[in-house]
Structure 1
Amino acid sequence: MDQFFLSFSLLMGAVLLSLWLMKLFKQPMIIGYILAGTLIALLFPTFFSQSEVFTQLSQVGIVFLLFIIGTELSPAIVQKIGSKTVLAGILQVLGSSIAGLFVGLVFGFDLMTSLYIATASSLSSTIVILKLLGDKDDLDTTYGRLSVGVSVSQDIFVMLFMSVVATLTAMKSGDFLHTAGILVLKIVGLGAGIFLASKYLLPRLTRRIAESQEFLLLFSIGWCFIVATTFHFLGFGMEIGALFAGVSLASSPYRFEIASRMKVLKDFFIVIYFVLLGSYISFSGQINRFFVGGGLFLVVVLKPVIVMRLLKMMGHVKKNNFLAGVALIPMSEFSFILISMGMANGVIKDPSLITMITIIGILSILISSYGTVYNQMLFKKLGKWQKYIPGAFRKKVSEKLGNPNDIILFGYGRVGSSLYKHFEKKKYSILVVDEHPAIINHLNTQGIDCLYGDGMDLEFLQEINLEGTKMIISTMKDPDATLAVLKVLKEKKPDLIVISLADHIHEAIMLYEKGVDYVIMPHYIGADQTSIMLEEFGLDVEKFLKNKSKQVESLKQKSNDMLLGELLKR
């Protein structure tokens, strides 16, 4: 016990020192966790090998994280946005795997080993992606949803791959039909069990348990580990079990309380996972540097390009394609599991392969960390090179960009939709520009003049016809996107009235200084309007009740748009 506390103190000390350095040099925190693990492994080579408990604690972090992911994957949302994203994820894995198979064969590995290398190099880490996007508060953005959706699709694919490998192993022993039959029964049984529990058992239990927040938390943890252990016992892995445990609670009205209370536990345990990952970097043994370089090219360059091409086929704009491609760079934790499984089965003969794959994986995480943190700046810095990024831009779009409009509205979110209805009553001609395909499809069905485009796509902005346009309104959350619109369109027509949106005072001041004519600040506007209302109504309850009826009617009218209710969480 004393040895554990000593080891744990050393680990936390290294983490705190690394985080202090990251804070000092303004670097991503995840780099600090990995650096701490590398330092410990270098200074104390036997530290982690003697402390198996750290491996188990990191596994707990992965389980908690995937459980929380599952609580956010309600069947209704998955049904609406899942099919194309899942298809993109599967096609990306297949495309990257073909390239990875070629690289493995070129470097002299046999066919089966090359197949393992191919699959490992094609996967992205859901854990790292969620950590980085969560730190940036970008999980609810279009590119954030695409990144997580593709990554989760890859996780499901790799679980199927593992099952296929197990089946092939059984086939060699002449037991193929028996094993395949048992596998199908397991899948059907687990699927039926999760469905029945989520529909009939869990709603009744959580309704009674929710009266005590402490009981609800403990029940959620227990349910998570019961389902994860069941999946593990049946050969599907604790990770996929934790994911489905969360999915079974995704439709619960208490899922937000469950996720928020488990977040602290998840954050603590996941730190140990990244520290342990950093300890896998080894500077000893025979390492083929050319293979490491080829693997990095596959993961850091080719995989994002394939992702961007596929997202272009789905109709997404250049910026979202670029940001999602960068976010999907980090190699998956399943990649390490796959290679370890191949070595345990005797398929992979070269013991240095696990070290080389680990180095490729950790370098990809480091590159992705910086790339994701500074992704908007990177896209902006590309400038004229943006035209080489795959993105949807059709002839019909060019034709519509040539039509004059009184007002061009960027972003049809909560604020944008309200402004549109106001200007529509004034009989102004309005063009709506939004980067979300589902919103554009919805607006088309409503007969609203709209375009699928991105405010940071310089090529797109240059094509806009400003003849007759008097006002530009940007309700986009990203100030850099607003500045891009301001720079390009104001240069083309200096007398434009430009209105933008900001959440923070420093952003509003910066936008005013850059040339924006009016900055909408929803929080302050709400407070000002309330003050005006209180001054007008005084303490007259009849006036409040009359205003209440109008407000309820207005809110009901807005809530009729169920699609926007799901998609416009910005």
Structure 2
Amino acid sequence: MEHLADGRQLFVFLVAAGIVVPLFQHLKLGIVLGFVIAGIIVGPGGLGHLVSISPLFAYATIQDVSRLQALGDLGIVFLLFTIGLELSFARLGAIGRLMMGAGGAQVMLATGGIYAIGAFSGFEFDDSLVFGMAFALSSTAIVTQSLVERKRLGGPVGRTALGVLILQDLMVVPIVIVVGILALPGASVGLALIKGLVIAAVVIAGVVGLGRFIVRPLMRFAGATGNRTLLLAITLLIIVAAAAITASAGLSAALGAFLAGLLLSETEYRHQLDVDIEPFKDLLLGLFFMTVGMTIDLAAVAGALPLIVGALACISLVKLAAGYVACRISRIPRPASIETSFILAGAGEFAFVVFTLAARDKVIEPDIARLATTIAAISMVVTPLFGLLGARLALLFEQKSSEARHGVHDTQDYSDHVLIAGFGRFGSGIAYLLKAEDIPYVGLDLDAAHVDTAKRAGEPVFYGDATHTEVLRKLGADRARAFVVTADDPKVAERIVALMHEHWPDVPIHARARSIVHAARLQELGAGDVVPEALEGSLQLAGRLLGDVGLPDEAIDQRLTVAREAVRARLHLDAPGPSPAPPSA
């Protein structure tokens, strides 16, 4: 019967993940939030409440969450391993300043701020300190996975967040020791913190030092056999051994896996291992996110909703302020500081451990511990949403800052020039050729990064929206020799072309199209010359292919010219039709 129950729980997990997660991906809310919501639905605090109404709901719920939590924790282990695998000790050293600067400041400021809120609310010293230490840390799994989904892990935000998260993992031992000390009368919290930090440093140095002598010979032995199964087995052994060492010392097991990834990143097997470990990580990490959702009891949340919302708002605001100040102290740019503070505003899975230990040692009351655990779980649920909001606000701030520095404010003295709307890869390439021929030009773009890069290179590029007539007039559209439209968004390109043709019909418009259909639409709106984006690239590839198979250069040029003119003829006819047959070589 026990095996049947385990099989049913696995079936419920797969069905819930297969329905809810794709839905959240379709809504562009991310798989993390999808897994967490799926966990809330099928957990004992969701559909589990309906089992008493009808036993049939028992087949659609997971009642025993503890059986899945151990497997879910392995997901965090594998996630941190893959992150370590993508880094190296050299790259880790580059974020060392962020670890000690931004990470240390964030933990201290968040702990102190949340402690102050607890004390102001009437809680005792022990309660407030436990709140501060537990809620100051963020979820390594949720934050890193959210950054990976949005392709932000390798950028400034990802590096800063990773540095802070690593420092937070190092704080696990001191916090556990402090919780134990609070249960003993007369003990020194300061000495406990120092002791914990020393233990953490010794354990990490031991794992790294021992690993350097063992890991590479083991991997070379496995690689020499040519057996991928043996290579994967030894890799799993290294991960488990490192995680077990750090866990037995009171540190996070995930930190040990991260160190194992760093050690293996210096071997020649890192790329193959990344591919082999990926399926394990994705499945187990999804299970972890679902178990987080299963810890939320919707009935309990509804019963204490005002208190939970108020506490969640206060904690989030404190962590937002602490994260932002910590980043600015480390001289992180404002947009990156804003986004990093939002992505770190949620609580972490370690809060569950802290509140469980504190309740067991009678440092805080069990009822308070259960309520705090619920607040932590809900905070983890909204972490991906915080990340999205932070990214939007950072982008908005960056755009306003770029507009203030590089915007079109006064009438510019341009005449007989080419006005380029869109100064990305395509537009900057056109500008390069114009510059070589001493033809004056001016660029316009809404991407702050493109504008900043161009300005640093001395290019006449401004931040502004080319769909606004007054912006174009300030850049001398009335006196322009030609317009070039290279906007990435097809709809935006169509609006720009229509606007230019309406107000300046005598100025020729050259436009880049995403496809042949889009090119025809741009010509309808007034563009005189349109080049489908993929056309020239495909013709160049075809030309090289024909050369490799033996056609002479003259024949290749002739065939490409015919193909190019065939596409142009289709555009002018405004309807797809058969292309002229290319001449024989």
TM > 0.5: yes
CA contact (8 A) 2:203 2:246 kept: no
Q: Are 2:32 and 1:32 aligned? A: no
Q: Using the alignment, how far apart are the partners of 1:292 and 1:537 within structure 2?
A: 69
- CA RMSD, Structure 1 to Structure 2 (Å): 5.3
CA contact (8 A) 2:77 2:254 kept: yes
- The correspondence for 1:42, drawn from 49, 56, 66, is 49
Letter of the 1:75 counterpart = F
Q: Are 2:541 and 1:530 aligned? A: yes
Q: State the 1:13 CA deviation.
A: 2.0
The residue aligned with 1:57 is 71
Q: Using the alignment, how far apart are the partners of 1:253 and 1:337 within structure 2?
A: 37
- The correspondence for 2:261, drawn from 246, 265, 277, is 246
The residue aligned with 2:572 is none
- The percentage of counterpart residues that share the same residue type is 18
Q: Deviations over 1:494-529 (max 9, x none)?
A: 769686797x9999999999999868757x754432
Q: Decide whether aligned partners of structure 1 residues 219 and 402 sit closer, same or farther in structure 2, where only a CA change above 3 A counts.
A: farther
The residue aligned with 1:166 is 177
Letter of the 1:77 counterpart = R
CA contact (8 A) 1:126 1:148 kept: no
The residue aligned with 2:235 is 220
Letter of the 1:112 counterpart = D
Letter of the 2:46 counterpart = L
CA contact (8 A) 1:195 1:248 kept: no
Letter of the 1:202 counterpart = V
Alignment gaps of 5+ in structure 2: 53-57, 555-585
Q: State the 1:277 CA deviation.
A: 1.7
Q: Decide whether aligned partners of structure 1 residues 488 and 177 sit closer, same or farther in structure 2, where only a CA change above 3 A counts.
A: same
CA contact (8 A) 1:224 1:245 kept: yes
Q: Using the alignment, how far apart are the partners of 1:281 and 1:33 within structure 2?
A: 9
Q: Using the alignment, how far apart are the partners of 1:234 and 1:264 within structure 2?
A: 29
Q: Decide whether aligned partners of structure 1 residues 508 and 325 sit closer, same or farther in structure 2, where only a CA change above 3 A counts.
A: farther
Q: State the 1:419 CA deviation.
A: 6.4
Q: Using the alignment, how far apart are the partners of 1:542 and 1:154 within structure 2?
A: 58
What is the 5 A alignment of 1:105-504? 105-134=119-148, 136-139=149-152, 142=155, 146-147=157-158, 149-160=160-171, 162-163=173-174, 166=177, 184=198, 187-188=201-202, 190-191=204-205, 193-194=207-208, 197-198=211-212, 201-210=214-223, 211-282=226-297, 283-284=299-300, 289-301=305-317, 303-304=319-320, 307=323, 314=331, 316=333, 318=335, 324-347=340-363, 349-370=364-385, 386=396, 397=406, 425-427=436-438, 448-449=457-458, 466-467=475-476, 471=484, 473=486, 479=489
Letter of the 2:41 counterpart = L
Q: Deviations over 1:311-361 (max 9, x none)?
A: 67846465x6665555444421122223223333432x2212333233323
Q: Deviations over 1:155-192 (max 9, x none)?
A: 42353254255268569568997995796366245325
Letter of the 2:2 counterpart = Q
CA contact (8 A) 1:287 1:356 kept: no
Q: Using the alignment, how far apart are the partners of 1:205 and 1:401 within structure 2?
A: 67
Q: Using the alignment, how far apart are the partners of 2:497 and 2:553 within structure 1?
A: 48
Q: Deviations over 1:7-38 (max 9, x none)?
A: 34235325514642565685552222342224
CA contact (8 A) 1:316 1:391 kept: no
Q: Are 2:19 and 1:20 aligned? A: yes
Letter of the 2:208 counterpart = I
Q: Decide whether aligned partners of structure 1 residues 179 and 335 sit closer, same or farther in structure 2, where only a CA change above 3 A counts.
A: closer
Q: Deviations over 1:483-503 (max 9, x none)?
A: 77997999799769686797x
Deviates more, 1:69-78 or 1:507-516: 507-516
CA contact (8 A) 1:206 1:216 kept: yes
Q: Deviations over 1:101-150 (max 9, x none)?
A: 2321232211232122223333332212333344x4524574xx514631
The residue aligned with 1:552 is none
Q: State the 1:226 CA deviation.
A: 0.6
CA contact (8 A) 1:18 1:32 kept: yes
Q: State the 1:60 CA deviation.
A: 1.3
Letter of the 1:35 counterpart = I
